[in-house]
Structure formats: C-alpha cells, structure tokens
C-alpha cells in the first residue's frame, strides 16, 4: 500500500472517532464476551498495555476486578479517553495504577509516550483491523514484541464481519472517498456506521477495517517473532464476529 493511501485511511478513522466519539462510546459500555473470557485467564497482577483502549470499558472492569500492578491505555482519540477517565471507579484498589495517554500507532515513535518500556502483556482488542497496510502492521507488531518481557503475551481480537449479513450490507465503494480497489490490499473494507439520537435524523460515518484471514494472522505472527498459543471466535451475532488470538513472544526473535 502506498504511504499516502495508508495515511488517508488513518485520517479517515481519526475523523470518524473525532466526530462520533460520544455516540460510539455509548454503544461500547459492556465488555465483549471474548474479552471477558481472556480477562478471566490473566494473572491478577503485572504491568499491562492496552492499545486502542477506546472509551474505557475494559479499564473500568480491570479496576472492579481488584487487580494489582498497572494498566496503561493508549488511544488516538482524546474524546474517547475522556470517556475512559470518567468510566473509572472513583476509588481504585490501592495497589493498582491506571493511566491513559493519547497516541497514534501510525507514528513510529508512539512507544516513547509510554511510562515504561517493558510490559508483562499487551492487549489490542478490535484495534489491529484499523491499521492499514502490511508494512504498518508489521512495524507495529515488532514494536509490541520489543515491549514485552521474555515470555510475555499479546492478546488481540479482530472483526470478522463477514459472518453478519447486516454488516456485509454496509460495505461502501472506495470511490466514495476518492480511492480505487487497486489502491488498497485484499481484505481492506470501507464500512459505514449509523447512529440516531432521539428526535434527530440518522447520522452516518465511514470507517476503514481490514478483514484478517487465519493464514494472514499466522504469517504475521511468524514474521514478527510470535507463536500462536490460542485462537477462538466470540461476540455478536452467532458468537463469531470476533477472532481472538493469544500470541507468545519468542526470544530471541526468529523470522
């Protein structure tokens, strides 16, 4: 993918979350079943990084579970991070530290905004599929690997909207944002998002999403120094709208 096209798609998603942050946050108050399943597997402590933490539903649940250690959430939308701060319980467990920061993973120096350079685990739920281009995804996954302690784990989920006829029907033509099919990569998709407030007309936004295949994720893991430990489907219609992976960081890196 041409860098200018990748930048255009990143800007598109940034504009979406700038415009629809409060409305979008209102639809994401609950933890997804797949996220809850993973949360139940995690050790009670340690230092954790959440990429694309959004409006903070996971951070609030993290605090309510009485976990120890630290949770640090990153997102490129300051509006969503404000929602996340408001969603936190007023009193945190004494041994837990929760903090957030604005960062755009498209920028190569995003790890410099972190309070530490070593984490026991990294989370990225419904985030990687918003990153355009193999080159960008590979760079970010190498950076994730570098932030993990030896044996650290990377948990992530990616949208599988092809299992929902309702979502498939929301595909939009690339020409609507002045792009052509040949400008993007296989699996890249432009989807609309609709929201109606009481007494107001429906509003529509556009988002870029990449539809990952299993072979593609296997290739990415091998390319960036990870072994896949677990895979399962969960969430939404039929329990198949999210594909969850647990990756183990290899040391030394091979591949």
Most confident of 52-61, 91-100, 174-183: 174-183
Q: Hey, what are 237's tokens?
A: 């219609």
In contact, 78 and 21? CB cutoff 8 Å:
no
Mean pLDDT computed over 4-23: 85
| 65-84 pLDDT, tens digit each | 888 999 999 998 888 899 89
**Looking at the predicted structure, is the pLDDT value of residue 223 above 70?**
yes
Work out the average pLDDT over 43-64.
92
Q: Kindly indicate the confidence band of residue 202, based on its pLDDT and cuts at 50, 70 and 90.
A: confident
pLDDT tops 50 at residue 113: yes
The structural domains of the chain, with segments of one domain joined by +, span 3-159+213-249
Give the pTM: 0.91
Q: How many CB atoms lie within 10 A of CB 38?
A: 24
Superfamily of domain 3-159+213-249: Vaccinia Virus protein VP39 (3.40.50.150)
- CA separation (Å) from 12 to 15, 172, 249? 5, 14, 32
Mean predicted confidence (pLDDT) in 14-43:
81
Cα(188)–Cα(130) distance, rounded to whole angstroms?
A: 9
- 3-state SS track over 152-182: EEEEEEEECHHHCHHHHCCECCHHHHCCCHH
Closest CA to 170 of 197, 200, 202: 202
| 144-189 per-position pLDDT tens digit | 999 999 989 999 999 999 999 999 999 999 999 999 999 999 999 9
What pLDDT is attached to residue 2?
94
Q: How confident is the model at residue 255 (pLDDT cuts 50, 70, 90)?
A: very low
Q: Count CB neighbours of 161 within 10 A.
A: 21
């Amino acid at each position: 993918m041409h860098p200018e096209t990748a930048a255009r798609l990143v800007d598109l998603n940034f504009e979406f979350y700038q415009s629809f942050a409060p409305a979008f946050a209102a639809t994401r108050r609950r933890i997804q079943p797949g996220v809850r399943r993973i949360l139940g597997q995690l050790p009670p402590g340690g230092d954790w990084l959440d990429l694309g933490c959004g409006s903070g539903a996971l951070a609030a649940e993290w605090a309510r579970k009485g976990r120890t250690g630290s949770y640090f959430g990153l997102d490129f939308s300051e509006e969503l991070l404000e929602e996340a701060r408001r969603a936190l319980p007023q009193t945190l467990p004494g041994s837990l530290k929760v903090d957030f920061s604005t960062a755009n993973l498209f920028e190569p120096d995003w790890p410099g905004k972190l309070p530490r350079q070593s984490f026991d685990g990294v989370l990225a739920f419904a985030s990687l599929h918003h990153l355009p281009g193999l080159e960008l995804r590979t760079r970010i996954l190498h950076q994730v690997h570098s932030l993990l302690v030896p044996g650290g784990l990377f948990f992530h989920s990616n949208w599988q909207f092809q299992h929902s006829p309702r979502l498939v029907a929301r595909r939009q033509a690339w020409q609507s944002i002045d792009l052509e099919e040949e400008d993007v990569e296989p699996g890249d998709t432009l989807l609309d998002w609709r929201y109606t407030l009481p007494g107001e007309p429906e509003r529509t936004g556009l988002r870029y999403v990449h539809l990952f295949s299993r072979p593609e994720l296997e290739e990415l893991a091998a390319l960036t120094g990870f072994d896949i430990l677990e895979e399962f489907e969960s969430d939404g219609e039929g329990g198949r709208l999210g594909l969850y992976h647990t990756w183990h960081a290899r040391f030394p890196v091979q591949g």
